[in-house]
Amino acid sequence: MAKNILYSQFTILTILFLLPIFFSNSFADTPSKICKSTPYPSFCNTILPNTNSTSNVYDYGRFSVRKSLSAAKKFLSLIEKYLRKSKNNLTITAIRALEDCKFLAQCNIDNLITSSQIINQTSQTLPISKADDIQTLLSAILTNTQTCIDGLQATASAWSVRNGILMPLANDTRLYSVSLALFTKGWVPKGKKRPSFDNPIGKRSLKPRNGRLNLKMSDKNRAIYRSVNGRRLLQDDEGGDMVLVSDIVIVSQDGNGNFSAINDALAVAPNNTDGSNGYFVIYITAGVYEEYVSIAKNKRYLMMIGDGINQTVITGNHSVVDGWTTFNSGTFAVVAPNFVAVNITFRNTAGPSKHQAVAVRNGADLSTFYSCSFEAYQDTLYVHSLRQFYKECDIYGTVDFIFGNAAAVFQDCNLYPRLPMSNQFNAITAQGRTDPNQNTGISIQNCKIKAADDLANSNVTIRTYLGRPWKEYSRTVYMQSFLDGLVHPSGWSIWSGDFALNTSYYAEFNNSGPGSNTSARVTWPGFRVISATDAGNFTVSAFLLGDDWIPETGVPYRTGLFSS
């Protein structure tokens, strides 16, 4: 009997010892097998180590991310070398394109370091929010790389530089794509969080507050805030969701504030705060501020509040025609995470003849614009990368006037196509998704699409489209929105020939208005009329996981679909 017990115990211990090995082997994959799940199987096979052992998707994923980090550092060194050695032989536009690449390469290194730290800790699927964080960072790496490529290709005088840069960039793009694919396969949960369709409005159904937030601040900061011309444009301590404020400074052109220029106020904002003490608020009183504002990544948890649309105006006129790249033509640019802007007009006055001229470039993760206006013509609002939310905003433009490759949701916004140059047409969106594993796209919910005054009062007929496929996997959804009669019956326009017509994702759901009839829409494989279930994937809750971060901004929003 004792012998049998000892034998049984030995057997159990042996099984327990062998279980990890069994499961490791059962999930082991060869590079050729694992690479089939990536967009570049052949390239993937050339970079993954063929160890013939127990390697699995997690081992290969970590290897690919490490190799991606090495490639990003090597590329940064290459750009710095060209800037040192070739600067005297290049035009200012070419130099600016290289400087954009340098900045974007540095962003990629930061993103890869953060991603590597997370995936090195576990060999199992991550919680949804953490998986979305890393998938967002890896998606942005591809976006940053493509932005560098686009900038160099648009710079004719940089042909000698392009030949030495575009080839390594092509390989880097494939490598980053493999890293994203392996991360998605190994660490991302198979199903994403969706809003409850028993309550389509969602758990955070708030009435619009016309640019008002409830601010929680010290007595000193409250006194400062209320002292500015007696204004109380924002509520404070009057119930509802409270927004914690750590400090506040006033920008005023009449000398009654702490500063007369926005950039001077920005310079005193704290660096690398974690938000536990609240937002650093820069209150910008009414006036036209002719400044180019760029908010660096270390200015986290910054909130800018103006006196209202067309009251507080930040304006500039940089454009591609005048020698700027599209990326650095913006009047206002932000990459600082957790940025919030309220009651401000952002403007680029270059005009339609200057082509690409950005009012705002947003590459800030978890950023929010509430009750703001964006005014330009071509390429008005550059939703460049990462996760963004726009609430009750006005956006004016002509060609591709909302463009980029962020995960961006526009809710209760007004989109105003303007009068373009002769022989031009209007395209509201040009979404730039380049990879099927990127969690990016443009979602337009409960918005209104109507002609701006100059277009409405003109005697010419301008074709206006909901969007066109800037990149191969372009993704844009219009849902529960009002589309006026200026929208062309076909709805969507080509970019060039049949490019991306099969691979793009263009969808419409439950829109209204004379331009919403889908019977004459394009017949591309990439276009579809979707159900409520599919539309739910593009709501604030599902697409942005907004319930995790928007409440702390105090901005009202609907988490799911609107009630019919």
Q: Could you give the residue numbers annotated as active site? A: 400
Bridge-based pairing state of the strands 407-411 and 441-445: parallel
**Per residue in 547-564, is it b (16+ CB within 10 Å) or e — as a string?**
bebbebbbbbbbbbbbee
**Bridge partner list, 403:** 382, 430
Q: What are phi and psi of 147, to 5 degrees?
A: -60, -40
Distance CA(445)–CA(455), nearest Å, equals 23
In the chain, the amino acid numbered 316 is: G
In order, the DSSP letters of 351-400 are: -GGG----SEEE--TTEEEES-EEE-STT-EEE-SSEEEEES-EEEESEE
Distance CA(342)–CA(554), nearest Å, equals 11
Q: E strands along 255-299, which residues?
A: 279-284, 287-289, 293-295
CB 471 within 8 A of CB 442: no
Q: What are phi and psi of 437, to 5 degrees?
A: -95, 0
**Per residue in 64-99, is it b (16+ CB within 10 Å) or e — as a string?**
bbebbbebbeebbebbeebbeebeeebeebbbbbbb
Give the end-to-end CA distance of the chain in Å, rounded to a whole number.
73
